[in-house]
Structure 1
Amino acid sequence: MCGGEGTRLKSAREKPLYPICDIPMVDRVTAALEAAERVGTIFAAVSPNAPETRTHLEESDVRSLEAIETPGDGYVTDLQAVLDRPELETPVLTVAADLPLLEGDVVDRILERHGEEDASRTVCVPRALKRRLGASVDSSEHRDENLVPAGVNIVGSDSTSMTHVSYDVRLAVNVNRIEDARLAAELLPRQEVE
């Protein structure tokens, strides 16, 4: 999901293209998805809000990447536009483009835990973990006020919804503000920054 406006980041760059240690966040997320053994085709939900992101992704060398144009009217509307595509079958993994610490093993672990279930799954992290790290915490639309959606979901074929709680720091930093970008850069593995 990389078609949002990114207004909270207050950057001249489109949010998915905002660099963390000189690498755009969307490239970090697509690299994690490519590294995941359980991920097939990668669909990038782009919108009129992020035309440079669309161009960037179309010019990338990511295997099996396909851009899907969405209206850019918000996460739920854009997600529905993606799910309405006839070539997609559930379950569908959705990942926000603002998770620069995401890695393939994290994605595989989430998909493995989900298994063959028909239910949808929202991956959340404890609000206390985000606060301990110094990551921004916006109002949450999760039924448990102690949990914050991480930006990773599995959309299943039935209306049942489950929550997967993770304590993995790599899911706890969504870059919504400049301070989050600094935190993400600090938390990246040392060898990558050097």
Structure 2
Amino acid sequence: MSKEAGKSKRSTPKLAVVIMAAGKGTRLRSRRPKVLHEVGGKPLLSHVIATAGKLAEAEDIFAIIGHQAERVREAVSGTDVRFIEQKEQRGTGHAIQCAREAIGGYEHILVLSGDVPLIQADTLQHLMTLHLAEGASMTILTAVQEDPAGYGRIIRHSPDRAEVDAIVEQKALKPEQESVREINSGIYAFKVGPLLRHLDKLTNNNAHGEFYLTDMVALLHSAGEKVAALKAVNATEVLGVNTIAELAALDASIRAATANRLMAAGVTIFRPETCVIDAEVQVEPDTIIEPFVQLLGSTRIGTDCRIRSYSVIENCTLGNDVLVRQGCVLSESTVADGARIGPFAHLRPGSEIGQDAHVGNFVETKKAKLGKGAKANHLTYLGDAEVGAGTNIGAGVITCNYDGVHKHVTRIGQGSFIGSDSTLVAPIEIGDGAYIGAGSCITRNVPSGALAVGRSRQVTKEGWAAARRARREEEEQK
């Protein structure tokens, strides 16, 4: 679980990762913390944490949080990230000042932005390699952009050297610098000793009254320290998010990359541009995904499956040779090899569909277990139910699992037959091989091999309908 900033796992750790995650969603016109906006099916911050976790040299990962801090903590609570709180958001330099105690025992830190989800571990590794090789106190990850407008520009000591003289903001560019397209990504490696010695020299003499980490370049130069830069091979890796349109573009980029990864591994995706596939989804070769399918969360799908159009599958595990027909919704459930689902079936959380089982048209399950070869093909609700292997559930069957206060379980044995339009009032057990007559309301246990019929007695009044019609006609003629 996540932890507050404190002592690291070793007495003399070398590298920590610090992720800037305190900002608001002001430019996104959103009340939600910026780093909790989602791309590829998970928050921006989660992408950055996952990438940082791939760096073998990193002893710890810290997230500097501020705006709606508790909400951010909760969103990434399943990770090993440690938290540092920046109670007032007064700039990136101030954020590192808030982290002073946490990072003091490290030799180096890697500073990442929580809203840059495409950054790759290999790129960060190359940044650290150059940082160490150059003996730099600060190393900046840069990128060459076709349109660098609005970004700080990197002014190198000379084109063929890693050393940087300055970061110059757009409005401060000299005429001879306006052609520079190498921009500052906001991702840095620092040697901790020089950083901490000069950190309090940052000033907020700027239009926003904030302390900027970019000002460390000038401070370190003045102290005779070396500042270097590494140019990212893929400029899209350093793209951040400032508008909803940019968020949508990043989401599309991540999802396209996921679809391409799956297709390269042998998955057939018809019209991939119409599908929504989250970044962590895994699908085995020879599975076919039709247009307008959504595969969400940590869904896992085996080989030789077919997912037909308009189905939505979230946090589910499907075995091999599974058919999901059109328009199904599956959530937090498991489906075993050879099962057939839908069309228009709804598997709610906790459903476990066994091998070769069938869940058909407009069938809803919730915390239901269907054994091997069991069938519920039409218009049925199975909630808190256990259905044995080979049992057939007729159309319109309902397990009445809720008494208004508590949920109760229905247990149906193997090889049983539940007639259409039957109501099973839980808690109840139906034995192996039992038959339930159609239209029954069953309130007591049924032994194995028994027949249970729970209907009111039928009354037939001959001629009643004809007489009623005759009376109506007489009344209308009056």
Please report the TM-score for the alignment, with normalisation by the length of structure 1: 0.82
Residues 5-16 of structure 1: pairs in structure 2 closer than 5 A: 5-16=24-35
Distance 1:167 1:92 in 2: 22
Residue of structure 2 aligned with 1:79, choices 80, 86, 96: 96
Residues 22-101 of structure 1: pairs in structure 2 closer than 5 A: 22-47=41-66, 49-51=67-69, 52-57=71-76, 60-63=77-80, 65-70=81-86, 71-85=88-102, 87-101=104-118
Post-superposition offset of 1:97 = 0.3
Compared with structure 1, are the counterparts of its residues 139 and 173 closer, same or farther at alpha carbon in structure 2 (3 Å cutoff)?
closer
2:83 match: secondary structure: strand
Compared with structure 1, are the counterparts of its residues 162 and 86 closer, same or farther at alpha carbon in structure 2 (3 Å cutoff)?
closer
- When structure 1 is superposed on structure 2, of 167-176 and 33-42 the one drifting more is 167-176
> 1:117-137 CA distances to partner (integer Å, 9 max, x unpaired)?
242011111132xx4xxxx95
**Which residue number corresponds to residue 242 of structure 2?**
176
Distance 2:60 2:149 in 1: 31
Contact 1:37 1:104 in 2 (8 A): no
Q: Percent sequence identity over matched residues? A: 18
Distance 1:31 1:82 in 2: 21
Contact 2:145 2:235 in 1 (8 A): no
Contact 1:124 1:166 in 2 (8 A): yes
Amino acid at match of 1:164: L
1:190 is the counterpart of 2:262: no
1:147 is the counterpart of 2:185: no
Contact 2:24 2:31 in 1 (8 A): no
Contact 2:138 2:227 in 1 (8 A): yes
Amino acid at match of 1:79: I
Compared with structure 1, are the counterparts of its residues 168 and 184 closer, same or farther at alpha carbon in structure 2 (3 Å cutoff)?
same
Distance 1:186 1:95 in 2: 22
1:115 match: secondary structure: helix
Contact 1:127 1:146 in 2 (8 A): yes
Bigger proportion of residues as strand: 2
> 1:19-52 CA distances to partner (integer Å, 9 max, x unpaired)?
00221000000000012223220011111x2322
Give the number of equivalent residue pairs: 184
Unmatched 5+ stretches in structure 1: none
Distance 2:82 2:151 in 1: 32
Distance 1:181 1:69 in 2: 25
Unmatched 5+ stretches in structure 2: 1-19, 154-166, 169-176, 195-219, 221-225, 262-275, 278-478
Compared with structure 1, are the counterparts of its residues 96 and 86 closer, same or farther at alpha carbon in structure 2 (3 Å cutoff)?
closer
Largest Rg, 1 or 2 = 2
1:167 is the counterpart of 2:233: yes
> 1:79-133 CA distances to partner (integer Å, 9 max, x unpaired)?
22213436442311000001111222222222122226242011111132xx4xx
Post-superposition offset of 1:75 = 1.1
Relative contact order higher in (CA < 8 Å, ≥ 6 apart): 1
2:189 match: secondary structure: strand
2:117 match: secondary structure: coil
2:53 match: secondary structure: helix
